[in-house]
Amino acid sequence: MKNHVQWESSLFELIRRTSVDLPCDIEQGLRRACKTEKKASRARWILETLLENVQKARDKDAPLCQDTGSLIFYFQVPVGFDTNALVSATRLAVARATRLGYLRQNTIDSVSGAACATNVAYGAPTFYFEQCARGTVDVRLLMKGGGCENVGKQYSLPDESLGAGRDLEGVRRCVLDAVISAQGNGCAPGILGVCIGGDRATGYECSKSQFLRKLDDKSSVKILARLEDRLLKESKALEIGPMGLGGNAALLGIKIGSMSRVPASFFVTVSYMCWAFRRRGAVLTVRGGFKKWLY
């Protein structure tokens, strides 16, 4: 791949923007949630504080949260594109963003406990590649916080304790259980990504990929779109609220996808993304030049 410098520069800008600038759809979601809370309530105060934080991060060009999370890159590339070179350029961009403070030194060796100075290590960042019949490189980035990662859950149906069978009512019970178990931990209000089916690994991959959808996006599968709406209403009625301190807005959205499964397994996987919903994307030329933002 030629123009290594151009690639690194475009990918660095993607990381910087993702770290400091909350996407417009999420900020609007926070504003809408704020209006639903009673004036002078704790819930409203929390949401107003979060919105102030969003503006300050943008103005000061500083990370939205001290936990800059795990970096997950999703690339769509033309057929035959050199993805190894893309990995190298992305790693350089991650190291530079860490050096300049847009990313915290957030990567720990799981055996020794040693911190990694660059955030470039085995499994960090994470990459997904898809070859498509196109003449551009589309890249999307999620920065997934650790606190919200901790409250993700996976269920194997049937689950007697929840009265959850292998059907959409069973899925509904699992999602509500995940919301109740989280109790606002993981820095609510957040967004749930849900996968019905898959295996234990692909279930989590699919549930996280739901975060690439915009907040107002509805599932193209009508029955899932209805379930998304219903679960969002039901989660509000639980009155868990921002940070679990009471109110309507424990969640801003729920996105449900599905995968095929084998007859013996029926997994429901719930991933949670906090209010610091760092998701950005860009369309780049095959030489790494910037064309447009995706969010």
Instruction: Give the binding range for ligand SF4 (CB under 6 A) out of 10-18, 41-49, 63-71, 82-90.
Output: 63-71
Helix axes 222-237, 168-182, angle to 10 degrees: 30
Instruction: Give the binding range for ligand SF4 (CB under 6 A) out of 139-147, 160-168, 198-206, 244-252.
Output: 139-147
Closer of 10 and 68 to ligand SF4 (Cβ): 68
Asked whether position 186 contacts ligand SF4 by CB under 6 A, the answer is yes
Of the residues 49, 108, 117, 146, which one makes contact with ligand SF4 according to CB under 6 A: 146
Closer of 145 and 257 to ligand SF4 (Cβ): 145
Asked whether position 276 contacts ligand SF4 by CB under 6 A, the answer is yes
What residues from 11 to 40 belong to the interface with ligand SF4 (CB under 6 A)?
A: none
How many whole angstroms separate alpha carbon 129 and alpha carbon 75? Answer: 5
Asked whether position 252 contacts ligand SF4 by CB under 6 A, the answer is no
How many whole angstroms separate alpha carbon 110 and alpha carbon 86? Answer: 26
Q: Is the dihedral of CA 225, 235, 185, 155 positive or negative?
A: negative
Greatest Cα pair distance in the chain: 57
CB of 63 to ligand SF4, least distance (A): 9
Asked whether position 69 contacts ligand SF4 by CB under 6 A, the answer is yes
Residues that bind ligand SF4 (CB under 6 A): 65, 67, 69, 145-148, 186-187, 274-276
